[in-house]
Amino acid sequence: MIVSMSLGYLFMYVPLLIAVALVIGASRHEKRHLIFDQVKKNAVWITSFMLGIYVVLQVVSWQV
Amino acid sequence: MAKAAKGKKQAPTDSHIVIADGDELNLHNRHLAAFLAWVVPGAGHYYQQRYFKSAIFSASVFSTFFIGMVIANFSCVYAAWNGTERRWQFALQSGVGFVAIPAAIQGYTSRGGNDPMLGSMLTAPKNVRELHKLHRETASGFDMGTLYTMIAGLLNILVMFDAYAGPLPPPVPKKKGDPDSGEEEKSSAKHDPPDKSSVEST
């Protein structure tokens, strides 16, 4: 079961999320407010994508 | 010329000046900036006097790389292509130049069982037993550290591109039946030619 995974592993995603969202956001804009708007969008998008993958894997694990 | 001055900001003619978010951006020597960005993340932007972005990039890439090194006990970055291991991950880790250069030197000089040139840092495991020991001692830290350092290298490729060519133009959604939608954002995108929006709207 995926949910039986240690929560410690989930915290590994936080620094990666921040770094990836910041770099992608900053590589899209030059002005600060636009950069931070883009960073927020990136963070939401990445988290949503990972949650989607999580749900798919969870459903698959229920089927097995 | 007068007609052009009345309209929107024209595409700059100098190769080191680009338009980003509606303003002109001087990239100075873009080749040097990209090289500096590769060697030290953020240094290219510092050279271009883009201090805020330099701070963002250096903090992001350095912290990701350093966290990876720490959780892998400073053993996950090395160059090796031999019977023990084909370390393809190094190709991605080498996006961060200040580590890639000494690691490549270490990998090159330690071929055939020779002693590496720079001591024991950034050296590959000598044999499979030593590699397994690394995995055992760090638990999943070796793999997670490898992942972190690979991502740091990939992120620095984006940083190099930004230093070389300025920010990427963001995609602009086009609304149906509104040919002028997204016009402002399009004009701020640096690579758009002046007549691109009119071509797209037709």
CB spacing of A19 vs B168 below 8 angstroms: no
| Alpha carbon distance B38, B95 (integer Å) | 7
Any residues with CB less than 8 A from the CB of B166 and at least 6 apart, and which?
A: A30, B18, B20, B25, B27, B190
Query: What is the pLDDT, as a whole number, of residue A14?
Result: 92
Q: What is the CA radius of gyration of chain B?
A: 23
**B165 HSE (CA, 13 A, CB side):** 10
Least Cα separation, residue A4 to chain B (angstroms): 17
Question: Looking at chain A, which residue has its C-alpha nearest residue B169?
Answer: A28
Q: Is A64 helix (H, G, I), strand (E, B) or coil?
A: coil
Taking residue B9's Cβ as centre, other Cβ atoms within 10 Å add up to 14
Question: Looking at chain B, which residue has its C-alpha nearest residue A18?
Answer: B60
CB spacing of A26 vs B53 below 8 angstroms: yes
At residue B90's C-alpha, the angle toward residues B115 and B133, to 5°, is: 60
Residue that has been written with the tokens 């090395």 in this structure? B78
Given a contact cutoff of 8 angstroms between Cβ atoms, the answer to whether B192 and B169 are in contact is yes
Residue that has been written with the tokens 């370390």 in this structure? B87
Query: What is the pLDDT, as a whole number, of residue B111?
Result: 85
Tell me what the mean pLDDT of segment A40-55 comes to.
95
Q: How far apart are the first and last CA of chain B?
A: 26
Structure-block tokens of residue B135: 């995995």
Given a contact cutoff of 8 angstroms between Cβ atoms, the answer to whether A29 and B170 are in contact is yes
Segments in chain B below pLDDT 70: 1-13, 170-172, 174-202
Structure-block tokens of residue A58: 């969870």
pLDDT tens-place string over residues A11-43:
888 999 999 999 999 999 999 999 999 999 999
Of B158, B151, B161, B160, nearest in space to B89 by CA: B151
Query: What is the pLDDT, as a whole number, of residue B92?
Result: 96
Alpha helices in chain B (DSSP H): 2-6, 30-39, 43-47, 51-71, 89-93, 97-109, 128-138, 141-165, 183-188, 196-201
Nearest to A15 among B67, B162, B166 (CB): B67
> Measured between CB atoms, does A23 come within 8 Å of chain B?
yes
Report residue B44 CA to chain centroid gap: 11
Question: Looking at chain A, which residue has its C-alpha nearest residue B159?
Answer: A27
| Alpha carbon distance B51, A11 (integer Å) | 30
pLDDT tens-place string over residues B138-182:
888 999 999 999 999 999 999 999 999 999 876 667 666 665 554
DSSP B160: H
Most A-contacting residue of B60, B151, B185, B188 (CB-CB within 10 A), to test interface: B60
